[in-house]
A = this chain, B = another copy of it.
Amino acid sequence: MENAMKPESEFKRCDRRFHPEDMAVEAGGVKIGAGHFAMIAGPCSVESEEQIVSVAKAVKAAGAQLLRGGAFKPRTSPYDFAGLKAEGLALLKLARQETGLPVVSELMNINDLPLFADIDVIQIGARNMQNFDLLRELGRADRPILLKRGLANTLRELLMSAEYIMASGNERVILCERGIRTFSDCTRYTLDLSAVPMLHELTQLPVIVDPSHATGIARLVPPMALAAAACGADGLIVEVHNDPDNALCDGAQSLRPEDFAALAEKVRAVREIVTCAP
């Protein structure tokens, strides 16, 4: 088992022993962590003005605090749709203007950082969790970083990657469990929810969960989102699409807005139970 209590920590800036208080990360006016629970929702990819604005309004009405939308998409195949890029970011900001929701989007290439100047939260995907130069650069950004756990990375490695960002000066890191690779073949990845309470022991940083990428199956998103809330996650990032059947990307794992609304209500109720004193 991971030895959380080695005499000298290798991730001292995010080591709970030196930072006993839970840390809240502020993102576009919304707090995540230290008692503040945040729902981040939106489509896998920004596809059009109509799409992103309508989803943004729907998730806001359902109680989401932040809007997610991919503009630069990591795709296994070079021939797949890779996002609307700069245009996607512009549409995302338009949706923010319409709804007031701060926005989250994934950065894959450090040279694209100027395009993200006005994006509230920069997401680093699982495949870039150990792109160390990128992490170091983001340590100089003045924005919160949503750092996803890699497909085959231990919690210690995740914290070391957070340390890269923090060591360069940016303390606003949100960790995200999004499923790991195992032999299990009934879901896309295996959601490792034990990582949530274990990370809370090891670090002061907030921890959120992505049940959409982890399972790859929309029907499994509500139960796994509720489970994440029940084991103490500080937030969720959930894919919501107004028309999953025709999504350009990951439709099979996207909730419809009405299903997200029903889920959000239950999540709040579960969270109330688990956070009240015993």
Do residues A269 and B273 form an inter-chain contact, with CB atoms below 8 A?
yes
Chain B residues with CB under 8 Å of A278's CB are: 262, 265-266
- For residue A141, CB closer than 8 A to chain B, the reply is no
Give A126-181 interface residues, CB cut-off 8 Å to B: 127-128, 130-136, 150-152, 154-157, 160, 163-164, 167-168, 180-181
Q: Is the CB of A223 within 8 A of B230?
A: yes
Where the two chains meet, the residues of A that have a C-beta atom closer than 8 Å to any C-beta of B are 1-2, 4, 10-11, 74-79, 82, 108-111, 127-128, 130-136, 150-152, 154-157, 160, 163-164, 167-168, 180-188, 190-198, 201, 214-216, 219-220, 223-224, 226-232, 262, 265-266, 269-270, 273-274, 278
Contact of A190 among B156, B180, B196, B223 (CB under 8 A): B180
CA gap between A11 and B193 in the complex, in Å: 29
A275 CB to nearest B CB, Å: 10
Q: From A196, which residue of chain B is reached at the shortest CB distance? A: B223
Q: Are B187 and A194 in contact, with the CB atoms below 8 A?
A: yes
Contacts A132-B108, A183-B182, A274-B266 given: A192-B190 contact, CB under 8 Å? yes
Given contacts A108-B133, A154-B185, contact A193 B224 (CB under 8 A): yes
**Contact (Cβ within 8 A) B194 A181:** no
Report whether B2 and A154 are in contact in the complex, using a CB–CB cutoff of 8 Å. no
B197 touches A224 (CB 8 A): yes
Which chain B residue shows the least CB distance to A149? B184
A230 and B270 in contact, given A185-B1, A194-B190, A262-B278 (Cβ under 8 angstroms): yes
CB closest chain-B residue, reference A259: B278
Contacts of A266 in B (CB 8 A): 273-274, 278
